[in-house]
Structure 1
Amino acid sequence: MTQQFNNQLFAFTKQFTDSAFKAQSLALKGLETVAELQLKAFEEQAKVSAEFVAEALETRDINSLRGLWEKGASLNRDNAERTVAVSQEILAVTQKTAESLNALVQEQRQAANDAVTAPVAAAKKAAAK
């Protein structure tokens, strides 16, 4: 009896640690993707901003300043659009990760239900004979 209990406990523990490892790897993969998206967006924004600052430092007359003003407004609009696009991508990655974790939880729940009902069904079958 004790051996059977130990075997079931060991199997449950193994299943739980496997699921926890899968959940951790899913979460880390999602986190890595989000960090990569944010880093790319930051690099692009820094590059464009540095170009703008370099051009601003070269401004010498009023006409150049007007052109710079228009370019600054365009730069702000582009940065806002890029931020929205990256935010949407991050939201999609987060949603996909959550769905994957939910599927993993459902698998774990089903496996636990099967592990509980299998011995009960075997006991009923043995009692019927």
Structure 2
Amino acid sequence: MTQQINQFFDYAKQFSDNAFKAQTLALKGLQTVAELQFKELQRQAGATADFVAAVQETRDIDGLRSLWEKGASVSRENAEQAVAVSQEVIAISQKTAQSLGALVQEQRQAANDAAAPVGRKAAAK
């Protein structure tokens, strides 16, 4: 009976350790994604502020023409960078999912290894 209780506590400890590892992996991935998105938001806000400052300084038709080109350029750069950040976010998400999958596989293997001796004892009886 004591052996079964100890085995139960061992399983509970292993489960809680793996849950902690999974939470740590997920939070690291989330932190990395948030940092990427925040940096991109800062960059886009800076580019937009520069564009607004240029709009306020425009006084003639030539300034408006150059402003049109600058606006198109800012929009294109923002879109390209947003796509690049999205691709990085997807890569981070895939890496996190793979790490979590590996953790689940380790847990499954440990459970199978622990159950094998019990199954052998039952088959021997």
TM-score (norm 1): 0.92
2:5 matched to 1:3? Answer: no
Q: Which residue of 2 aligns with 1:34?
A: 33
Question: What's the CA shift string for 1:43-84, capped at 9, x where partnerless?
Answer: 000001000100100000000000000000011000000000
* Counterpart residue identity of residue 53, structure 1: V
**How many aligned residue pairs are there?**
125
User: Which whole-Å CA distance do the structure 2 matches of 1:86 and 1:120 have between them?
Assistant: 50
**After superposition, where does 1:57-96 map in structure 2 within 5 Å?**
57-96=56-95
Partner amino acid, structure 2, of 1:21: F
In the TM superposition, what whole-angstrom CA distance separates every residue of 1:17-46 from its partner, at most 9, and x where no partner exists?
A: 000000000000000000000000000000
RMSD: 1.5
SS at match of 2:77: helix
SS in 2 for 1:60: coil
Aligned to 1:99: 98
> Under a length normalisation based on structure 2, what TM-score does the superposition of the two structures give?
0.95
For structure 1, the 5+ residue unaligned runs are none
- Structure 2 alignment gaps of length 5 or more: none
Identical positions, percent: 62
CA positional deviation for 1:119: 3.3
Look up the match of 1:119.
118
> In the alignment, what sits opposite 1:45?
44
Runs of 4+ aligned residues of structure 1 deviating over 3 Å after TM superposition are none
Which whole-Å CA distance do the structure 2 matches of 1:24 and 1:100 have between them? 11
Structure-2 separation of matches of 1:18 and 1:118 = 23
